[in-house]
Structure 1
Amino acid sequence: MPGIAEGVPCTRLLLEDKVALGSGASFWTTRAFPAAGIPSLTLTDGPHGLRAQGESGDHLGLADGTAATCFPTASALASSWDVGLVAEVGRAIGLEAVDQGVHVVLGPGVNMKRNPLCGRNFEYFSEDPLLSGKLAAAWIRGVQSTGTGTSLKHFALNNQELKRMSTDVRVDERALHEYYLPAFEIAVEEGDPTTVMCAYNRVEGVYCSDNRRLLTGILRERWGFRGAVVTDWGAMNDRPAAYLAGTDLEMPGNGGVTDAEVRRAVTAGLLDERVVDESVERLLALVARTTGRDVEVPADLHDRHHELARRAAVESAMLLKNDGGALPLQPGGRVALLGALAGEPRYQGTGSSRVNPTRVVSLRDGVGEYAAVDCAPGYRLVDEPDAALLDEAVRLAEQAEAVVVCVGLTEISESEGFDREHMRIPANQVALLESIAHLAERVVLVVVGGSAVEMPWQDCASAVLHVQLAGQAGGAAAADLLFGAANPSGKLAETYPLVYDDVVSSGYFGVDPHQTPYLESMYCGYRYFDSADKPVRHPFGHGLSYTTFAYSDLRVVRRGDDVEVTFTVTNTGGCDGAEVAQLYVAPRTGGAYRPVQELKAFTKLALTAGESRGATLTLDRRAFAIHDPEVGDRVVEAGTYEIRVGASSRDIRLRAEVQVEGTQPRRSRVADWYYTLTGTPTPEDFLTVHAPYPVLDAPRKGTFDLDSSILEMKDSSLACRVVHFAVERTVAKRFGGKVDYDDVRFKMLMYSAADLPMRAMVRMSDGVMTPRLARFLVDSANGHTLRGLWALLRRRA
């Protein structure tokens, strides 16, 4: 990069070149200016493996990319609670990026799991911001240790797939700063990502790409982010406004559609060219940080990474139940293996993170390494009853001494592009489990899936091993755990409720997708369940082992402004294992409303049988702080705080109190719900923690605009119905011409295309949807077809 190495300032570039640098050259690449020494960068999807597609334009995982190692998804990796392991996985992905000529990997995703039905939860780490942030920072450090860039996403408040391109999120200041932003903050401060990706949605009425408060006020000025902001693919709203907000790079390339808008804004004095220059400098810094890499890539790269994927899957799996020591099984025997998912594995999610794996090991393959296997599918992957398959499986189970059943979420259950409809596994799988419930003492369940599920059927078995979406080596890792070659050590990174109705937001999540007020504030996941003292199936942080652990010797000492917590963990069982010790802080100040306890530190200790080891965890003042909207910053309420150390949020082993100095506690003037958590929060309750705002009605005839989509407008005009039909048939051509909403990839692409705002469709359609045609369709949907047609024809003339 001679030009940059010589320090060529961006002011020596022409305005048109500077503007062009801020918009992609193609679907995956940035613009190159060889005369100025500026090469093109290649950006590629992640985050649980590389999805390099070359010149193909597909950000939804429909076309296979170059083969790469498929590691466990973020939801699984988070269950390892292992910062070092996540950094290793990150470095491996970075090395494969170097090998494939990729400069920036689009990940990690740290959006909070506000509700279990979010279709993309498998891509996100946790319902807890501390755990998410620490793991994200480790992943970033790992990737960037190879000179490869990362893109922390999706900033911010992208917590649902329904109307993700345009929904208007309303969130109170405390929830924003105490729950939804801290994972990003930790990742920025401790990981120093090269880029941050802005989300599609609006926040407080402003699209994220245009949101100066988020991108400049919080991200850059408060957190010190020094990298570039890139849009999610198609997330640009108003490019001149985005420059003013702090957005640097519009992706994907769209033939320079928006370049002219920026040049006109500069010429008219609406956008200072110095703002463009500052953005160019950030992009040049991105180029400098991600090119010229000198990293050795071993010849056996994929073999090494497959073994790492296997180890990561082992460390991430969770033993949720093990009555009577049903596990581990004895190697060398004979096992009845039931479930179609055992032979046709589901090991990753659907969408932009979908990896073309270098190889795949099914559960059937893995169990076959340890025992003789008799297999029966027991159910179809499509949720339809099949009596013959069920009867065959039951007969096999009744004749076997050991039965392993694989159940879980199938592809259509969770995906990018749409949210889940419920928390249940398919009914035909439940029918299989109920049919063998009388054999529970010899039945072991292996559960797959990237999101929380209702598990009333777990009583049909003696043991439950949850491997989630375990990556390409997941079948081998599950077998290692089933037969005792490895000891489970994973812990849940999200709460598993008894039923979906127990989730606080269940009654209003997705009800009005156009405007999304977070009525529950920061009470999500265990913050709600523990504070409301509501029973759960499996609590946050839960996970068993083949050994046992004892906690002792808790000491809490003040070290200046910090609080030092030390304790001892002892492996009291008969085999080696690892324990995740979790530290929660429980306020006793009687002041502002807040969760009854919050995770503030954790550590994972590997202990041989009988070994004891001390652990020291340090809490700074931030661990005791809340956000005070009146002062716009953190404050610590003076008073008593209980320090809790344990094996889960509901399994606290050690307690101690500490006195902390700070501001005088005061009870917030808010609705009682935020203190009592009785019932469900109402919009009226929400307005006591959030300022009044204009309530948006669902778009209807007469109110449609360029933020509306063909999916919304199709019932309002013949022209829109024709376009929707055309989109449907165009998508169907990729799947043999069949319109099939039971096909996860068809459904994902159809919703992603038909529910694009018209302004985004103009930019993403490669010229098929022109601005004039989009305007005509909006006019037609609003009942002004003739007027719109006249304007369309007149402009063409």
Structure 2
Amino acid sequence: MAAQKATMLDANFDVEDVLSKIRLPDKIRMLTGLGWWHTEPVLNVGIPSMRMSDGPNGVRGTRFFNGVPSSCFPSSTGLGSSFDDELAFQVGKALADECRAKGCHILLGPTTNTQRSPLGGRGFESYSEDPHLNGTIAAAYINGLQSEGVAATIKHFVANDQEFERFSVNSVVSERALREIYLKPFQIAIKDANPWALMTAYNRLNGIHCSENVKLLQDILRKEWRYEGLIMSDWTGVYSTAESIKAGLDLEMPGPAYMRGKAVERALVGQKLFPSDIDDRVRKILELLKRAYASGIPFDGPEEGVDTPQLRALLRKAAADAIVLLKNDNDVLPISGPKKIAVIGPNAKPAFTSGGGSARLLSSYTVSPLEGITAAAKEEGATVEYTIGATSHVLLPLLDGLIKQTNGEHGALIEFWNESPSASFLSTQADLQETLPKCAWSTPTLGSLCFLADGVDDTKVNEVCWIRYSTTFVPDESGDWEFGLNIAGNGNFFFNGKMIVDLSTNPEQGESFFGLGTIDVHATVKGLEAGKTYPLEIRLSNAEFIGRGAPFTCRGGVRAGGIKYVEEEEGIRNAVKLAKESDVAILVIGLNHDWESEGFDRKDMKLPGLMNRLMSEVLEANPDTIVVHQSGTPTEMPWVDNAKTLLQAFYGGNELGNGLADVLFGRVNPSGKLSLTFPKRLQDSPSYPSFGEKGEEYGQVLYNEGIFVGYRGFEIKDLKPMFPFGYGLSYTTFDYSDLQVGQPTAGGSFSASCTVKNTGKRSGAEVVQIYISDVVSSLPRPAKELKGYAKVLLTPGESKMVKVDLDRHALSYYDNRQSRWVAEAGEFVVYAAASSDDLRLSTKISLLKTFTWTGL
């Protein structure tokens, strides 16, 4: 964006005074963003533009293409599984440091939607199926972020729980379920952390889009909860003009305006809106701007990265603490003393740092499981051998790390022309040796995914252009290689001087590049030699693409991938052989950002490809195989009874490989507890079948399970999951004793405490979970509900008293007949537990008098 006026407002400006000085046309402009990542400035009044960036597990910055690399923290389901508020706080602080380095005032996170189904495409982005854990971890993250002056944007408000038809689907939710399950984490976070911004959801709620829902934004958020922060839309998530403004939606994102701008002027003329309505919305933007001034983060500042030893240590700790030990039957873990370690599986060699969509970013660096294990094994005097076994990708892995420019630098060169540089430029018979005229502009890039919606010099490159992506490919393994290409535009893929993929002749449309790109087309090149250099070139034009009605300026896109080809049977044979020959076998399997992403939901809970067969045959060959399952949400595991050792790794961010190795080799004692119930099969999930494409009825999805989401649903049906909520093992053992619970005050406050002792031989951390059960209630209630937790670190033989403070919400339910929260007189059982299925201690308390309330 253009440089802003040097003279701006005083940092202590008076909001009402500034509001009175802004002309009405400028106020209308301020109601919509400036491009993808900024608010509109009003320079004649001294108002600068605030900058935003996607989160929630990193700070991408303002560019999709050639952006400044960023730290990637573990996915939210992993952070939630740490049950560690202090860790979430420190992650928030670290993200604030990244925001400051990138000149970002507003981070678009955390995602705080309740996990309703294992199939949700963005399930990995939210913390938990349990509203208390979800809201409490979100609050800690927000407090960490905002303690450094960066605005958190809690999202997506509310019931944005599936991706299928996400712009139009009507989430039909009972009032009680809405209050107790879906609004509750937002309520907790607003009460405990006061996020300075909030993002509305795409979907309808009970018939009305969330971005224009008066009940949500005015009655509940503004009036009942007294929320005073800015309310923005999700990107292109505004569907009305007067209605959204009247409902309280302050900012339409992104720009240029679709539902505001001239439409607001027309609504004012027709008196559907009044200047006071516009003032109400602009006032919230100015209030957030005042916080941005206080942060000291420059406006229109440069974008830089952060890389310090302290940050790397936090990334590594977060990756390790997000891991959950699910099985360790023969005490195979931690690993000690092997001579030869086999590492097998499609999730071992690539670093799957996060799920897909807006949560994904260009990591400043990555450590894959194979790299982390290899480094740790070397220190133990062991050797590592790898084989893939079976593949799991939808799109071939990016070529990043295997491509070099002709000058020896990593990456590729992209050149742009404003007219076709030669008659045969896109031809399948193109002469790659021809001398092309000087390009209009060029830039290096590190990777083989280039979404050219930004990052291009607009002063030199026209909107319609011709592009050459050129590099050299250096395979790390000899053999046949499979390559894949999809593009936004028309073009071809040339390898070693020969055209291998034709996407210039009526290319078939696909879902890449937000639906603007082609399908992915594959080709196999035989007999490549490891370490040898092969020229690679992709030529394309967006001339025809521009006419397809893209909703934003885009000069096209390139996504090239490749992987050594291994025939399926051969791959499994190699894995079985290696597992038999090795002292220790580690099998790293799961999902990746191809399967879990914004924009679509999973079709089922199955592992992709031949993964289950690979699992079964390797476990038969080596029963002590250590299984590492990486995903953001649950999958079916038909082989689980035969696996003696199992770790759930989630998406671990930059340091996922080192964090995993720390746990495998005992440098870190795992302490994670599942933030999600893992069902044995999809049909057991409480939301089944009312979810996604197959669960919709005439554009609406019925939340038939009501309040019985996650473990609440399993327990009310007495249905055994594969692994229960809150479950996780350690390399040591813990004993619980002396549960003490105070008598609730008249206002419902009380505390619970117990003594935890480390009865094993290793230091370790235990999460004490406090569940509450209402013995007799006027309305049906879950068997028990998580209402508090605390994490305690203990050395061998050490004992500590753990105390958890609770309030009236621990005893209450929402009575939609009265439209109030009710804490009903009577007996309650308080449990101190190691998981929802492992209740160690219990006692009863009594609430002497019923009381009700509204609000936070």
The offset of 1:256, in angstroms, is 6.7
Q: For 2:20 and 2:307, locate their aligned partners in 1 and report how far apart those are by CA, in whole Å.
A: 42
**Corresponding residue to 2:162 among 135, 160, 163:** 160
Match of 2:9 among 2, 7, 10: 2
d(CA) in 1 for partners of 2:765, 2:294 = 40
What CA distance in whole angstroms lies between the structure 2 residues aligned with 1:558 and 1:660? 8
Q: Map 1:765-776; keep pairs closer than 5 Å.
A: none
The alpha carbon displacement at 1:202 in A equals: 0.7
Aligned-residue offset at 1:619 = 2.2
Higher strand share: 2
Give the Å deviation of 1:189.
1.3
Q: Find the aligned partners of 1:608 and 1:295 in 2 and give their Cα distance.
A: 42
Q: What does residue 624 of structure 1 align with?
A: 811
Alpha-carbon deviations, 1:271-308, whole Å to 9, x = none? Answer: 12112112111100111112353479999634432221
State the match for 2:342 in structure 1. Answer: 336
Q: Residues 65-103 of structure 1, C-alpha deviation per residue, up to 9 Å, x if partnerless?
A: 320001101111001000000110111111111001111
Q: What is the letter of the counterpart of residue 369 of structure 1?
A: A
Alignment of 1:540-689 (within 5 A): 540-560=725-745, 561-663=748-850
Q: Which residue of 1 aligns with 2:312?
A: 306
Alpha-carbon distance between aligned partners in 2 of 1:73 and 1:103, rounded to the nearest angstrom: 22
1:273-352 to 2 correspondences below 5 Å: 273-294=275-296, 301-331=307-337, 333-352=339-358
Counterpart-to-counterpart distance in 2, 1:366 and 1:257: 49
* Alignment map for 1:349-498 (pairs within 5 Å): 349-371=355-377, 372-382=383-393, 386-498=568-680
Alignment of 1:110-125 (within 5 A): 110-125=112-127
Which AA in structure 1 matches 2:627? Answer: L
Unmatched 5+ stretches in structure 1? 57-62, 666-797
CA contact (8 A) 1:589 1:637 kept: no
Amino acid at match of 1:397: A
| 1:146/1:295 contact within 8 Å kept | no
8 Å contact from structure 2 (residues 585, 622) kept in 1: no
- Cα root mean square deviation, aligned: 2.0
Tell me whether 646-655 or 266-275 shows the greater mean CA deviation: 266-275
Structure 1 pair 596–645 and aligned structure 2 pair: CA distance change class (3 A): same
Aligned equivalents of 1:35 and 1:664: distance in 2?
Answer: 54
- Name the SS for the 1:476 alignment partner: helix
Counterpart Cα distance in 1 of 2:314 and 2:325: 21
Following superposition, the deviation at residue 462 of structure 1 comes to 1.8
State the 1:433 CA deviation. Answer: 1.2
Out of 124, 129, 132, the position equivalent to 2:131 is 129
Counterpart AA for 2:391: R
Q: How high is the sequence identity, in percent, across the aligned residues?
A: 36
Summarize deviations over 1:682-716 as a string: whole Å, max 9, x none.
xxxxxxxxxxxxxxxxxxxxxxxxxxxxxxxxxxx
Contact 1:29 1:43 survives alignment (8 Å): yes
Cα offsets for 1:729-788 (capped at 9, x unmatched): xxxxxxxxxxxxxxxxxxxxxxxxxxxxxxxxxxxxxxxxxxxxxxxxxxxxxxxxxxxx
Relative to structure 2, which stretch is displaced further, 461-470 or 431-440?
A: 431-440
**Residue-by-residue CA offset, 1:1-29 (whole Å, 9 max, x unaligned):** 42663423312211111111111111111
Alignment deviations for residues 359-394 of structure 1 (CA, whole Å, 9 cap, x no partner) = 110111111122210111111234897011111111
Match of 1:230 among 211, 229, 232: 232
C-alpha distance in 1 between matches for 2:110 and 2:851: 39
- 3-state SS of the aligned residue for 2:385? strand
Q: Name the count of aligned residue pairs.
A: 658
For residue 185 of structure 1, report the CA deviation from its aligned partner: 0.6
Q: How far apart in 1 are the matches of 2:824 and 2:157?
A: 29
Opposite residue 455 of structure 1, the aligned amino acid is M
Q: State the secondary structure of the residue aligned to 1:468.
A: coil
Question: Structure 1 residues 210-219 or 404-413, which shifts more?
Answer: 404-413
Within the alignment, does 1:536 sit opposite 2:545 as a pair?
no
Partners of 1:143 and 1:64 lie apart in 2 by 25
Give the alignment's TM-score, normalised by structure 2. 0.75
Q: What letter is aligned with 1:596?
A: A
RCO higher in structure (CA 8 A, sep ≥6): 2
Establish whether residue 198 from structure 1 lines up as the match of residue 224 from structure 2.
no
SS in 1 for 2:358: coil
1:27 & 1:427 partners in 2: Cα distance? 37
**Unaligned stretches of 5+ in structure 2?**
1-7, 378-382, 395-565
Aligned runs of 1:707-718 on 2, under 5 Å? Answer: none
**Which amino acid in structure 1 is aligned with residue 738 of structure 2?**
D
Q: Which whole-Å CA distance do the structure 2 matches of 1:569 and 1:203 have between them? A: 44
The one of 696, 702, 714 aligned to 1:512: 696
Moved more, 589-598 or 555-564: 555-564
Q: Deviations over 1:318-358 (max 9, x none)?
A: 00000021100015632111112111132211101111101
**1:384-412 CA deviation, whole Å, 9 max, x = no partner?**
97011111111111111211100111333
CA distance in 2, matches of 1:364, 1:542: 27
Structure 1 segment 745-764 matched on structure 2, within 5 A: none
> Shift of the alpha carbon at 1:64?
5.6
**1:234–1:251 contact (8 Å) kept in structure 2:** yes
Q: Give the deviation of 1:192 after TM superposition.
A: 1.1
SS in 2 for 1:496: coil
Q: Give 2:72's aligned residue.
A: 70
Please state how far the C-alpha of 1:53 moved relative to its aligned partner. 2.7
Q: CA deviation at 1:255?
A: 4.9
Distance 1:439 1:572 in 2: 35
- Bigger mean CA offset, 262-271 vs 80-89: 262-271
Q: Once the two structures are superposed, what CA deviation does each residue of 1:131-168 show, in whole Å capped at 9, x if it has no partner?
A: 01011111111111221111100001101000110111
